[in-house]
Amino acid sequence: MAYEPIQGMELVDATVSGYHGSERQNLIKLMTHAGASFVGVLSWSNAFTHLVCWKFQGRKYEPAKKFTIIIVNHQWIEDCIKQQKRVPEHPYTFQGYG
Protein backbone atom coordinates (compact mmCIF):
# COMPACT_ATOMS: atom_id res chain seq x y z
CA MET A 1 0.00 0.00 0.00
CA ALA A 2 1.49 3.34 -1.05
CA TYR A 3 1.03 6.51 0.97
CA GLU A 4 1.77 10.10 0.08
CA PRO A 5 3.68 12.08 2.71
CA ILE A 6 1.29 14.15 4.77
CA GLN A 7 1.93 17.85 5.18
CA GLY A 8 3.20 18.57 8.68
CA MET A 9 4.34 15.02 9.37
CA GLU A 10 7.87 15.92 8.33
CA LEU A 11 8.04 17.76 11.66
CA VAL A 12 7.39 14.50 13.55
CA ASP A 13 10.41 12.62 14.88
CA ALA A 14 8.95 9.64 16.73
CA THR A 15 9.92 6.59 18.67
CA VAL A 16 7.64 3.73 19.72
CA SER A 17 7.08 1.77 22.93
CA GLY A 18 5.21 -1.43 23.65
CA TYR A 19 5.06 -2.74 20.10
CA HIS A 20 6.92 -5.88 19.09
CA GLY A 21 7.68 -7.93 15.99
CA SER A 22 5.51 -7.32 12.95
CA GLU A 23 3.29 -4.83 14.82
CA ARG A 24 6.34 -2.68 15.50
CA GLN A 25 7.61 -2.95 11.93
CA ASN A 26 4.19 -2.13 10.46
CA LEU A 27 3.83 0.91 12.71
CA ILE A 28 7.27 2.18 11.71
CA LYS A 29 6.36 1.73 8.04
CA LEU A 30 3.12 3.67 8.52
CA MET A 31 4.96 6.48 10.27
CA THR A 32 7.63 6.81 7.60
CA HIS A 33 5.17 6.52 4.73
CA ALA A 34 3.16 9.33 6.34
CA GLY A 35 6.31 11.48 6.28
CA ALA A 36 7.43 11.17 9.91
CA SER A 37 10.94 10.17 10.91
CA PHE A 38 11.53 7.15 13.11
CA VAL A 39 14.09 7.46 15.91
CA GLY A 40 15.13 3.88 16.63
CA VAL A 41 17.45 4.20 19.59
CA LEU A 42 16.07 6.11 22.54
CA SER A 43 18.61 8.60 23.73
CA TRP A 44 17.81 11.95 25.22
CA SER A 45 20.49 13.37 22.93
CA ASN A 46 18.33 12.23 19.99
CA ALA A 47 15.71 14.89 19.53
CA PHE A 48 12.27 13.39 19.10
CA THR A 49 8.88 15.01 19.24
CA HIS A 50 6.50 12.07 19.69
CA LEU A 51 6.31 8.81 21.58
CA VAL A 52 3.80 6.33 20.16
CA CYS A 53 2.76 3.97 22.98
CA TRP A 54 0.78 0.75 23.05
CA LYS A 55 -0.14 1.57 26.66
CA PHE A 56 0.51 4.81 28.48
CA GLN A 57 3.22 3.27 30.65
CA GLY A 58 6.70 1.81 30.42
CA ARG A 59 10.38 2.58 30.24
CA LYS A 60 10.07 5.33 27.61
CA TYR A 61 6.76 6.72 28.81
CA GLU A 62 7.78 7.95 32.26
CA PRO A 63 10.82 9.98 31.10
CA ALA A 64 8.91 11.33 28.08
CA LYS A 65 6.26 12.79 30.41
CA LYS A 66 8.95 14.93 32.04
CA PHE A 67 9.94 16.53 28.75
CA THR A 68 7.95 18.20 26.00
CA ILE A 69 7.35 14.91 24.20
CA ILE A 70 3.88 14.39 22.74
CA ILE A 71 2.69 10.92 23.77
CA VAL A 72 0.02 9.34 21.58
CA ASN A 73 -1.29 5.91 20.69
CA HIS A 74 -0.97 4.35 17.23
CA GLN A 75 -4.49 5.40 16.24
CA TRP A 76 -3.14 8.93 15.72
CA ILE A 77 -0.84 7.73 12.93
CA GLU A 78 -3.61 5.65 11.39
CA ASP A 79 -6.10 8.53 11.46
CA CYS A 80 -3.57 10.92 9.93
CA ILE A 81 -3.20 8.50 7.04
CA LYS A 82 -6.95 7.88 6.71
CA GLN A 83 -7.68 11.61 6.66
CA GLN A 84 -4.55 12.49 4.65
CA LYS A 85 -3.74 15.31 7.06
CA ARG A 86 -1.98 15.75 10.38
CA VAL A 87 -4.82 15.58 12.86
CA PRO A 88 -4.58 17.11 16.36
CA GLU A 89 -2.80 14.83 18.83
CA HIS A 90 -4.85 15.62 21.93
CA PRO A 91 -7.65 13.07 21.37
CA TYR A 92 -4.97 10.35 21.12
CA THR A 93 -3.11 11.24 24.30
CA PHE A 94 -3.71 9.85 27.79
CA GLN A 95 -5.33 13.18 28.70
CA GLY A 96 -7.58 12.92 25.63
CA TYR A 97 -8.98 9.65 26.93
CA GLY A 98 -9.78 11.10 30.35
Q: List, for residues 43-74, the tens digit of each pLDDT value.
A: 666 678 999 999 888 888 888 888 878 999 99
Cα–Cα distance for residue pair 97/84, rounded to 1 Å: 23
Check: CB of residue 42 under 8 Å from CB of residue 60.
Answer: yes
Sign of CA dihedral 11, 65, 89, 18: positive
Predicted confidence (pLDDT) per residue in 1-47, tens digit: 556 789 999 999 999 999 999 999 999 999 999 999 998 776 666 67
Tens digits of residue pLDDT in 75-88 = 999 999 999 999 99
Please, which pLDDT band fits residue 96 given cuts at 50, 70 and 90?
A: low
Q: Are 70 and 76 in contact (CB under 8 A)?
A: no
6 and 34 in contact (C-beta within 8 Å)?
yes
Query: What's the confidence (pLDDT) of residue 98?
Result: 46
